[in-house]
Amino acid sequence: MDMDKVKCPHCGYEMPLQAAKDAICRGVFVRCKGRNCKRIFEVRINSNSDKTK
Ligand SMILES: [Zn+2]
């Protein structure tokens, strides 16, 4: 299965999270593990795919 890594939108840190390319995710928040970041961001995967298609 193809997997996408989840990256922090603030610093680009690769989170220890992976999602299938056809996963749909929104409203899930994680804290960045980047050293100088630690910001909370929303994990959005294909959540607006009806718009992009
Ligand atoms: Zn970050």
Neighbours of ion ligand 1 (CB under 5 A): 8, 10-11, 13, 32, 34, 37
Distance 30 CA to ligand 1 centre (A): 10
The yes-or-no verdict on residue 45 having pLDDT over 70 is: yes
The CA distances from residue 25 to 1, 35, 36, in Å, are 17, 25, 26
- Work out the burial of residue 34: count CB atoms within 10 Å of its CB; fewer than 13 is exposed, 13-18 middle, 19 or more buried: middle
- pLDDT at 48 (0 to 100): 74
Task: Tell me the pTM.
Answer: 0.78
Using a 10 angstrom Cβ sphere, with 0-12 exposed, 13-18 middle and 19 or more buried, the burial of residue 44 is middle
Q: What is the average pLDDT value for the chain, to the nearest integer?
A: 90
| Confidence grade of residue 51 (pLDDT, cut at 50, 70, 90) | low
**Over residues 39-51, mean pLDDT:** 84
Per-residue pLDDT tens for 3-43? 999 999 999 999 999 999 999 999 999 999 999 999 999 99
